[in-house]
Structure 1
């Protein structure tokens, strides 16, 4: 292999090694675990203002005077939410959807672990909720329209279920009658219909809005560059992502009263917050224009997204209404895809597919359907590896044949190196003549390696980002393919009576599990079938690479390690069999003998 091709492969591999080393030496800080058994903070003890979110036209923190006290005393007034997949309640103060749990998901793999809390009320450690209201127009004040602290009355519906919607009512001092009807489907989509009737005798104007507000970043935020967590918005086909860490750097917009980013949506769009596995999104009706706002309040550490619809003008006696949707739940690919089919524009892009979306989307599609067929995500990853190797086999065949010939030429290349000494030009000329004489193309081995790198990163993205691998078991001790191998060489894989080191500790680097050790061995065996570089430094780097990767990938998701083991095993098998068909007899340590001699010109005569 000439220097240019060797340097290309070496640079690619070393870059990969540097990236992986950075992941291990500088991992993201582990978030503090919240004690699910800790007593809840009472409303009067809460350091958070009851008006966590205010009308978009009001200054941040503005609380209508008469409603502030009512918010504290009446916070216990709630309506239950109960469906097959959701449980929680809605506060009648502000009509906030602020207490939501996901029945199908638990915090850990322990079956007794608490179920996941999606939204939390003002009294919780991290308030996170959806709020709807109306921004006052000409002639109206904040007291004349419903906002964060409006005391709503129940007009119909005792419990919000998938079959029974909830209708709330509030009459304003200005002679306006407001209704809010909240419905929910069998999954995670709420439908909120806001209506206003003008009984005042004078023309009035006001604008409906929806808000999702949260105080502080999510407690379980990963802070990993491969994953986007923060604001996600779709505006007429253009996806916008703003990380939580970037929001304090947004420009201050006086009209919004805070740091904000404003998007004007003409026809189709949505905006909300996306975390690792969960998402909340405001979705106005398809075909309607609205202003999408991502906002950050420095003083109170409040993140907020808004969907502000155009101002409505009501004549005396007139009634108008507007319907928006709220997604609040798990980022299940199949569920989100169904909502997209029902009209939510490009909703599937709310999942963070990354730069290689043209690979991650089809890879996940195949993996998802394999899992539906097989019923086990671990075996599905192995089957996916077989399919990928089958697609790359035509390229791999040429590569393996070339490598087999180069492996056989290794002794002659060593002689050339000895004869050339420090004369690199002479060595290059001799190697090119040797390749030409034996019809060997050293560059043929580069393409399969280069193609494997984006596939690897795409699969890593799929395994790390998608919800479907969360808490997905394989076999035996592997109970979560999205987490590192829990076994440890430090306690002899569970034989000694102490637990493995915490994944966030330095000892975790040397606390190798069973899968990483198998990975190192499979890489070493597969490497033995390839010709060693003639350069001593390169040869040493390649010799150490399997063991370096073994330690570095030990803290990676076990699903990714499983893929690499399967890939190495299939590669070794393919290469071994192809070398046999070419007349070579390699053993498992890479030593090669010829099963028949090459015919020389004398033999042919």
Structure 2
């Protein structure tokens, strides 16, 4: 067998097997569903009350001091409006919760009139999701004397929460303690939640401050895709932990927290919250001060909580105590997260799911992001990224294609060796190895560039799939979302008719293949034609089917990834053609193309029969 063809088949088959296994085991997710917050409301049986026990009563079971069954709907609760360049919503004065938040810069679909994305929603709505904070009563203090999730606060300062326009809420418990909560927000997605208590009673009181993000039930629109983490995410003194929803629900019961819980105690730097594909809500306590992080699940009410808890504070008579927590609630934009990380939020950029190959995905995304800033078109940026990757790998590719050209020059000598050796395979192999050493040819060199493409392919796929910068990113014409499959097909005359293409992953989508997958198959086919078809029938069959199998298999992948693959094939074809010509071997491209369309001659009948 031709060693060059053997290597090419080996490398291509390995790539095919890996990608096919990935495609079969982890098929692309369903198209993104609208998250416009207009789902019908459902009544919840309990409230996300503070599951916090003060540090001085650590052995006591945790109580839900506000599970009163109240339902605080968006319509009937007294509210304070939120209005910033990027956010709109409101704060409920019942519990002082940030529970109504929409992202102005993002719409649920590509249509101009599509609803903007809803991130947080109050109790009583489907997938209720909100943030609150408070104080848990310590020893000697009645739990009713601290503000709970059903406490009605009074707006004492401010009117509408906006950039440089904080609001202040107050509550007097009538027992000598006055609680104050000041909420501010920046021009992106970061809220600062400051709360304090003044003790006007005659004796000291003990209180433990906490912050909490509450999610009623698992989200309805979970994508459940292996490449994507959905659930809780946290940093605990430098350690990144990603916890799936099911793992929270299956946690062991923690006596101190009084429910199923995953707890990190004594953390000094970190944060915790919930994340999905593009959005997240994260609690960030004061860094450098000890606090506990917990993920809890209440099986009675199907409620998940991400909690930060500070140590109990003793407030003397006439004294006061305070604490500050930040709440990030918004889109997982790389530049925004990096700015917050530079401002002191540790490893905040890691809230994006970079995966196991973060050492590749992070620099690949950085290159893609910078190219997009420079060019202004994400599709062209992907092509530019492909050029840069090929430039980095060029020295290896050059050696590979030079080796392939030399292998072609040695073809007559290899055929002579095969003829002389006959059926003695050992003699043939020894002769070939001697020929390789004499001519300084590495028969495995042709595999390396293809093998290196495998981790780069998966890393780029991860980047295209998980980063919000690719969401609804346009290329040209009908390609207005590079994170989605090719929207064109023969069914809609490749984008000329205003009809939606068949749903990705269906038989119809395979039949009515899009423009990009078609170009992918053609580019792979042309790349094959730089070399004559192998004489072995099995090899011929593999080579004949490989481009078209890839075409159909990658047709339902993100179109940005297919753009990369087409660009990669085109550049590889050009490199291989020019390098092999420079080494004296002239690929018969047109002859090989014509040969693939020739009918095979029928075997002559045996005259002896």
Same fold (TM over 0.5): yes
Residues 214-233 of structure 1 mapped to structure 2, 5 A cutoff: 214-233=215-234
CA 1:253–1:355 in structure 2 vs 1: closer, same or farther (change >3 Å)? same
CA contact (8 A) 1:30 1:504 kept: no
TM-score (norm 2): 0.89
Which residue number corresponds to residue 22 of structure 1?
24
Identify which range, 385-394 or 582-591, moves more after superposition. 582-591
Change over 3 Å in CA distance of 1:78–1:35 after alignment to 2: closer
Cα gap change, 1:73 to 1:123, in 2 (>3 Å):
closer
Preserved CA contact (<8 Å) 2:43 2:71: no
> How far apart are the structure 2 equivalents of 1:276 and 1:446?
35
1:498 shift after superposition: 5.3
Which of 32, 45, 52 lines up with 2:48 in the alignment?
52
1:275 aligned to 2:276?
Answer: yes
Q: Deviations over 1:500-559 (max 9, x none)?
A: 212253433333110011001111111333576787545533442211111111011111
Counterpart CA distance in 1 for 2:424 and 2:536 is 13
User: Deviations along 1:167-199, whole A, 9 cap, x unmatched?
Assistant: 001112432111000000000000000101111
Deviation at 1:142, TM superposition (A): 2.4
Q: State the SS of the aligned residue for 1:555.
A: coil
- Per-residue CA deviation, residues 417-437 of structure 1 (Å, 9 max, x unaligned), is 677676543442343244345
What residue in structure 1 maps to residue 156 of structure 2?
155
Deviations 1:94-139 (A, max 9, x none): 0000000000000011111100001001121110000101111001
Greater Cα offset, 452-461 or 572-581: 452-461
| Aligned counterpart, 1:357 | 358
Distance 2:175 2:302 in 1: 34
User: Structure 1 stretches of 5 or more lacking a match?
Assistant: 593-605
Q: Bigger shift: 171-180 or 576-585?
A: 171-180
Question: CA contact under 8 A between 1:106 and 1:113: conserved in structure 2?
Answer: yes
Q: Which residue of 2 aligns with 1:77?
A: 78
Tell me if structure 2 keeps the 8 A contact 1:553–1:561.
Answer: yes
Contact 1:83 1:186 in 2 (8 A): yes
Q: Within 2, Cα distance between the matches of 1:543 and 1:420?
A: 30
1:547-558 mapped onto 2 (5 Å cutoff): 547-558=548-559
- Pick closer, same or farther for the CA change 1:420–1:537 going to 2, 3 Å: farther
Extract unaligned runs of 5+ from structure 2: 54-59, 594-609
Q: Do 1:50 and 1:72's aligned partners in 2 also have CA atoms closer than 8 Å?
A: no
User: Is 1:560 matched with 2:561?
Assistant: yes
Q: Tell me by how many angstroms 1:378 deviates.
A: 0.6
Moved more, 250-259 or 266-275: 250-259
CA distance in 2, matches of 1:337, 1:265: 26
1:564-593 CA-partner distances (Å, limit 9, x unpaired): 11111011001111111111221435759x
TM-score, normalising length from structure 1? Answer: 0.90
Secondary structure of 1:442's aligned partner: coil
Q: Compared with structure 1, are the counterparts of its residues 296 and 68 closer, same or farther at alpha carbon in structure 2 (3 Å cutoff)?
A: closer
CA distance in 2: counterparts of 1:482 and 1:29, whole angstroms = 12
3-state DSSP of counterpart to 1:194: strand
Kept in 2: contact 1:406–1:440 (CA 8 A): yes
Q: Distance in 2 between matches of 1:298 and 1:541?
A: 54
Partner of 1:601: none
Distance in 1 (alpha carbons) for counterparts of 2:71 and 2:14: 63
Structure 1 equivalent of residue 602 of structure 2: none
For residues 163-562 of structure 1, the aligned pairs below 5 Å read 163-410=164-411, 413=414, 424-494=425-495, 499-503=500-504, 505-529=506-530, 537=538, 540-562=541-563
User: Is the Cα–Cα contact under 8 Å of residues 248 and 296 in structure 1 kept in the other structure?
Assistant: yes
Distance 1:229 1:169 in 2: 36
User: Tell me, what secondary structure is at the counterpart of 2:322?
Assistant: strand
Which 4+ residue blocks in structure 1 deviate beyond 6 angstroms? Answer: 2-8, 58-61, 531-535
Equivalent position SS for 2:277: coil
Quick check: 157-166 or 449-458, which moved more?
Answer: 449-458
Report matched runs for 1:22-41 at 5 Å. 22=24, 26-28=27-29, 41=41
Aligned to 1:595: none
Query: What residue is the counterpart of 2:14 in the other structure?
Result: 12
- Count of residues paired in the alignment: 585
In the alignment, what sits opposite 2:601?
A: none
1:443 Cα deviation (Å)?
1.7
